[in-house]
Amino acid sequence: MTQQSASVVIIGGAIIGSFVAYSLRREGFKGSIKVIERDSTYQFSSTALSASSIRTQFGCSFNIGMSLYSASVFKNIRQWFGEDADIGFEERGYLMLGSPEGADIQRANALMQREHGASVDILSPEQTLQRFPWLNVDDLGIATYGAANEGWFDAWALLQLVRREARKLGVDYVQARASGLTCTNGKVSAVRLDDGSSLPCDWCVNAAGPASGKVAGWLDIALPVEPRKRTVFHIKAPVSTEGFPMLFDNSGAWIRPEGDGFIAGIAPLDHLDPNADGDFEPAHELLEDVLWPLLAHRIPALEQMRLQRSWAGHYEMNLLDHNGVIGAHHEIDNFLFATGFSGHGVMHSPATGRAIAELITHGQYQTLDLSPLGFERIRDNRPIVESVVY
């Protein structure tokens, strides 16, 4: 088998799968690349329904590295995808608000993030109020702000760019529903489709997002990745969007500018957060019962907010530790994972795509060492918990 004759089949054609395909070509892979996408409209894709932001403020160093790599792509998007490329990247930091009790941990996290290349300002409540005078800081103990390489962008535009370039480089997108995997001599030899046909492969990449757990189950692999619903509310309020950051409150609420208004959300309590397979109905009750009071407490002017619309998308939630699962299975070594990102898949898609491409093309990571995210920790029940999760 050579690079020229080998074949890769990627299950899932949204942002992760498309970056894997595109990156394979950039790394010099010459063989066949087919991407299976069950819905070319991406109506219910996590990518299309994402809040589309990027941060470097993480508790795990590998997530910081992935964000820095992805930010370099977003900030130089025309160098990657041509002079017409535009994803509307708004480089404006995350403002992470912390309680007095959690101030020491948040400060230590920020110092660690700096050590790994992030640009993070550490602010007292008084300094926070000076920068953002519309905030209520009475019950805060600390705030951290991403001074560079954080912000938000248009994930749909990014997906279209990556798919376009992948196609130009000879990647085939197949509109079909994968229904099973065929194994021969301990390796995946084909992906079965629901029309009865099969796509032979030398490598198979599981980039099926919230459906990744089901895909792994076809091989009797227990992958703890399930869909969890997250609702986004688009609101108007008498607050200027100018200079407004991506704000993450210590209550779990978040809000950022979108157009001439804002989008906001909050995760439901664990016992109200079931497997959301097939459920895309916005959780309207979250706004009035939970989110609105929290936002109005933090930003008093938001007492006057008006709802414009709402939508719900799915996180591909890794129930073990909220971190991505990247790399080959320890026994079926041509079956690779690129999933489980628990809400930060879009921001880490360039880094993930390159990592999987390096494994297939070169047999090892070359840009970022993502071996801590391998499947072995799933097998051994060794969580690497990402502490900064929303």
State the DSSP string of 11-51.
E--SHHHHHHHHHHHHTT--SEEEEEES-TT-TT-TTTTS-
Q: Residues 371, 306: one domain?
A: no
Asked whether residue 75 is assigned to any structural domain, the reply reads no
Identify whether the C-beta of residue 227 lies closer than 8 Å to the C-beta of residue 133. Answer: no
pLDDT for 287 equals 97
User: Could you say which residues of the chain have pLDDT below 50?
Assistant: 1
Q: Residues 286, 341: one domain?
A: no
Asked whether residue 293 is assigned to any structural domain, the reply reads yes
| CATH number of the CATH domain containing 194 | 3.50.50.60
Q: Which of 317, 337, 368 is the last residue of a domain?
A: 317
Q: Residues 308, 171: one domain?
A: no
Q: Residues 325, 302: one domain?
A: no
Q: Please name the amino acid found at residue 136.
A: N
Identify whether the C-beta of residue 316 lies closer than 8 Å to the C-beta of residue 225. Answer: yes
Q: Residues 232, 263: one domain?
A: yes
Asked whether residue 375 is assigned to any structural domain, the reply reads yes
Asked whether residue 23 is assigned to any structural domain, the reply reads yes
Q: Residues 261, 183: one domain?
A: no
Q: Residues 142, 248: one domain?
A: yes
Q: Residues 194, 244: one domain?
A: no
DSSP 247-300: EE-TTS-EEEEETTEEEEE-PPPGGG----TT-----THHIIIIIHHHHHHHSG
The two counts, helices (H) then strands (E), for the chain are 11, 20
- With both helix axes pointing from N to C terminus, report the angle between 15-26 and 155-168 in degrees, rounded to the nearest 10: 40
Asked whether residue 2 is assigned to any structural domain, the reply reads no
Cα 142 from Cα 126, distance rounded (Å) = 9
Count of domains observed in the chain:
2
Q: Which domain holds residue 360?
A: 7-51+155-224+320-379
Cα 340 from Cα 247, distance rounded (Å) = 24
pLDDT for 1 equals 47
pLDDT for 390 equals 66
pLDDT for 216 equals 98
Asked whether residue 113 is assigned to any structural domain, the reply reads yes
